[in-house]
Chains A and B, each alone.
Chain A
Amino acid sequence: MSTETGAATGSETSRIHNIGYRAYDGPRLGRAYARRSLYSQSLRGSFGLGRSTKSKVLPMLLLGVMCLVAAVIVALAIATPNTTQLPIKYTSFAIYLQAVIGLFIAAQAPQSVSRDLRFKSIPLYFSRPIERGDYVLAKFAAMVSALFVITAAPLVILYVGALLGKFDFADQTKWFAQGMVSVALLSVLFAGLGLVMAALTPRRGFGVAAVIAVLTITYGAVSTIQGIAWTTGSTGAVPWLGLFSPITLVDGVQTAFLGADSAFPGGEGPGAGAGVVYLIVVLALVAGSYAVLMRRYRRVGL
């Protein structure tokens, strides 16, 4: 084509502008591929990739904050002489920075599901090979992955820093692995709750508020009552109260099984027995979230 010059150009351009309809004979990759495409589009969308610059600001900022805090902790640990371990445990990091994680899920869960509901794009998905379960699964998995990225990245920084600081390799690796399991659990739980709240409130602003409310109000209430229970001497009640907010649930599970120090008042975390109850509640919440989402989308078929 590039060798065409002069008079030929005229006919050449007119041909290009009128090439007619071309049928598609290539592969159609079907349902599993469509589900994967929806997953990757949703995951990228959670960090504003493939969207406007404006929508990249908040998620990138939050990811930056998480990583920056981890980097500062590492820097302090290495700079301080005679330290043999990091100043905080891997499992405590997400608990300390729960507000940042809460903001992320509050902003991104509505972005992921409310848009399709609000602008009624759902029928366009369901008139294609994927089915309701594929849609819910892809959105759920994408949100879990996004949360895992934002919670696991700082742990990786801590771990790399700890190895650079020549802290004990075996201990660090074990604690790092425990931290990863903990944030994975947190990601699944928060993603489920966040998506349910967002899917039930198609107006995006309400969705953000609803997610923040579920995460912070329950945490505020639970920690206040725990505080009262502890100061009035009913220490036995403290571990059980933790069952009523998402972040204290994660705290309880990791205290019982992942060698974490509980952030509950007086460090009164649940033992192994109560820990099983915690784990059951977490799994029930995740399963419940999935069921609610499936139900939600049954009504919006077409």
Chain B
Amino acid sequence: MARATNVDDVTVIATEGLSKRFPRVTALDRLSLDIGPGVTGLVGANGAGKSTLIKILLGLSPATEGRAAVLGLDVSTSGAAIRERVGYMPEHDCLPPDISATEFVVHMARMSGLPPTAARERTADTLRHVGLYEERYRPIGGYSTGMKQRVKLAQALVHDPQLVLLDEPTNGLDPVGRDEMLGLIRRIHTDFGISVLVTSHLLGELERTCDHVVVIDGGALLRSSSTSDFTQTTTTLAVEVTDSDTHPDGTDALRKVLTGAGVKLVGLNGLDAEGLPGAGHILLVEAAGEETYDLVRDSVAGLGLGLVRMEQRRHHISEVFRTEEAPAAHLEARTAPVSAGAVLQKGSGRDEH
């Protein structure tokens, strides 16, 4: 991955006082970002300005004021050069159902400037990397949502870009598909050496995938930090164990051991109080760091219980607002009308055709 090290010092995306105003809505409000190589999550509620930012970064929509640069190229003057080196995966459906994934991705590779032979080779490679095998010769219309998302990802990667912009890639996927997609996104950087900007309205799924998370709201920067900052304060572990003959109530036994070891429990006595089926058997543990995972593992093994699962609970974007404590309420009140306006503006059909 020589290339990955080459771009280490380079800023991948930089914006400076970037604003985008529509007649009735401010989509971006003096946004200044500095995003380096790696996987960066862009989190925001619907209408927070994520899609507007992507449009500006691709050089397709002029900013009202401020500057933005992608891979060191100015978006207002070098749009075509940027789009040659950047891949984009839209949020919505964008695949024609009547042709095969191979034909479609080959065509898209040529539209990115790859010669015919290279387009075919890269298509075969890329489809294999995103996990599409024999089905790639069948018409796309018959694919599952997960497979369609993979084709969309493949067309964004086929020309070997230096940066991909993924707009809500986990939308509409079931939990397994979501995890697979997140794993794939992680590999885009670690294995392929391509930087990633991925948007989502779920912070929880991004903090596990990304090196860095940027939270925007109402078009303004709310928070920008490396993911370790988020995880240190917000990680909750859900642990579920089996019962055994010596410990008829395995959950209770584990709770005693863990509290004895000084681990803090979350919620009512550490039990998941959401009232979901089987929730009484799930213990919510606050994870201080790596050592908590080890402690849980060792405690479960020591009790001779079976570990059914141990997973990070997903967080919603709203929790970021809550951790902002006192200013949060005031902040939400300030931004609410803007968000509502942005949603309205979307609904008015500007984004539709």
Contact = CB atoms under 8 A, between A and B. Distances in A.
A8 interface: no
Nearest to B112: A128
Interface stretch (A118-126, A148-156, A235-243, A248-256): A118-126
A130 interface: yes
Contacts of B108: 124, 128
B297 interface: no
A52 B98 contact: yes
A77 B92 CA distance: 59
Interface stretch (A26-34, A78-86, A93-101, A139-147): A26-34
B353 A128 contact: no
Contacts of B110: 33-34, 37, 41
A51 B113 contact: no
Label chain A's interface by main secondary structure.
loop
Given A124-B108, A127-B88, A300-B353, A28 B114 contact: yes
Contacts of B304: none
B330 to A, nearest CB: 34
B204 to A, nearest CB: 28
A301 B115 contact: no
B113 A124 contact: no
Interface residues of B, number: 44
Interface string A108-142: 00000001110111111111111100000000000
Given A23-B193, A41-B107, A123-B90, A28 B97 contact: no
Contacts of A6: none
B95 A121 contact: yes
A187 to B, nearest CB: 25
Given A50-B103, A301-B60, A128 B111 contact: yes
B253 interface: no
Interface residues of A, number: 41
Contact of B112 (A34, A116, A120, A299): A34
B92 A127 contact: no
B93 A120 contact: yes
Contacts of A202: 353
A15 interface: no
Given A23-B3, A24-B114, A130-B111, A119 B96 contact: yes
Interface in B74-108: 80-81, 83-84, 86-88, 90, 92-99, 103, 107-108
Given A29-B113, A302-B60, A127 B83 contact: yes
Contacts, number: 117
Given A128-B112, A302-B90, A24 B160 contact: yes
Interface string B98-135: 11000100011011111100100010010001000000
A20 interface: yes
B111 A34 contact: yes
B155 interface: yes
Nearest to A35: B111
Interface string A158-187: 000000000000000000000000000000
A24 B111 contact: no
B334 interface: no
A51 B104 CA distance: 11
B130 to A, nearest CB: 11
A129 B191 CA distance: 26
B150 interface: no
A26 B118 contact: yes
A281 to B, nearest CB: 30
Nearest to B129: A21
A30 B113 contact: yes
Cβ-closest 4 pairs across A and B:
A24-B160, A127-B88, A300-B353, A28-B113
Given A22-B125, A26-B114, 18 more contacts: A21-B192, A23-B193, A24-B114, A24-B160, A30-B80, A30-B113, A34-B113, A117-B353, A119-B94, A121-B96, A123-B94, A127-B60, A127-B86, A129-B81, A129-B111, A129-B113, A300-B353, A301-B60
25 contacts: A24-B118, A24-B122, A26-B115, A27-B113, A27-B118, A28-B113, A29-B115, A34-B113, A38-B111, A52-B98, A119-B95, A120-B92, A120-B93, A123-B90, A124-B108, A124-B111, A125-B111, A127-B58, A127-B83, A128-B108, A129-B113, A131-B80, A300-B353, A301-B55, A302-B60
